[in-house]
Amino acid sequence: MKPELNPRLKDTLDELVYIYNQSTFIHSDPISIPHRFTVLQDIEIIGLWTAILSWGLRKTIINKASQLCDLMDHAPYDFILNHHEKDRVRFFEFKHRTFNTTDTIYFLSALQQFYKTHHSLEEAFIPSKGTENLNLEMGIDSFRNLFFSYPNAPYRTRKHIPSPLRNSTCKRLNMFLRWMVRKDDQGVDFGIWKKISMHQLFIPLDVHVETQARKFGLLKRKQRDWKAVLELTEVLRRFDSMDPTKYDFALFGLGVMNKNNFPMSN
């Protein structure tokens, strides 16, 4: 039997969502990079890449993603679709932490091969059975399998696109999915994907979200893994069944902004 919801806690979380889900926060967040573009494919290409690079200092992430924009002539879709192998030479020096040249060159190759036969990256997250009763957990794994189905996929690059079936939190992919799928009046997330619904999304679980979720008593599992993602997302769905990942703004924002003295309901 599930414990009763604490309405005071819901009010607290909703207030935090209101505070942090604001367009004024875009400029200091990696989501500012895809916000430079208006074409669907531009947004999702640089959005995916920015999300995959999102570990470490946010300023550094933004700088590295900006460098990618420069290397793709500020036209990600056109560059991915039409570039030649010789054009990849300029990327040889690009790296971010453990994401190195091998990973970069494969991303260019895989994305080019994907867009030759597909309109949008959203299709890669939808298994062959379609969107009816879509299990996004399997959708993430389907994306990973497709992404590494192209010739000469380096084994080392697989670590950058994990799978929930391997019990990874898949934090960066869940963040990317939130960017693409969620839509509200605040204009932070894009909401440009229509086949995947907001209620199917999973919370992007990182150390900031985990720490605050534990302080609020929202997460009991000791390990930070996919089972913890499922546990926390299920709790958040009880606060808002149609839009559970809006609470990413509350938990992540509170953690990053170090507002540990925010009044918590209990």
pLDDT tens digits, one per residue of 146-165 = 999 999 999 999 999 999 99
pLDDT digits (tens, 9 = 90+) for 211-257: 999 999 999 999 999 999 999 999 999 999 999 999 999 999 999 87
Q: Residue 7's pLDDT is what?
A: 77
Residue 134: what pLDDT? 77
**Residue 120 confidence (pLDDT):** 98
Q: Is 22 exposed, middle or buried (0-12, 13-18, 19+ CB in 10 A)?
A: middle
Confidence of residue 42 (pLDDT cuts 50, 70, 90): very high
Q: For 179-214, what is each residue's pLDDT tens digit?
A: 999 999 999 999 999 999 999 999 999 999 999 999
The total of other beta-carbon atoms located within 10 Å of residue 148's CB is 15
Tokens of 243: 């839009």
Looking at the DSSP bridge assignments, the partners of residue 261 are none
Q: What is the pLDDT of residue 257?
A: 79
Write down the pLDDT at residue 260: 46
| Per-residue confidence (pLDDT) for residue 5, from 0 to 100 | 72
pLDDT in tens, 89-131: 999 999 999 999 999 999 999 999 999 999 999 999 998 665 5
Is the pLDDT at 265 greater than 60, yes or no?
no
Does residue 266 register a pLDDT over 50? no
Tell me how far CA of residue 129 lies from CA of 122, 135, 138, 139, in angstroms: 14, 10, 11, 10
Q: What is the pLDDT of residues 43-87, one digit of tens each?
A: 999 999 999 999 999 999 999 999 999 999 999 999 999 999 999
Contacts 24+ apart (CB under 8 A), 238-241: 238/2, 238/5, 239/5, 239/10, 239/13, 239/14, 241/199
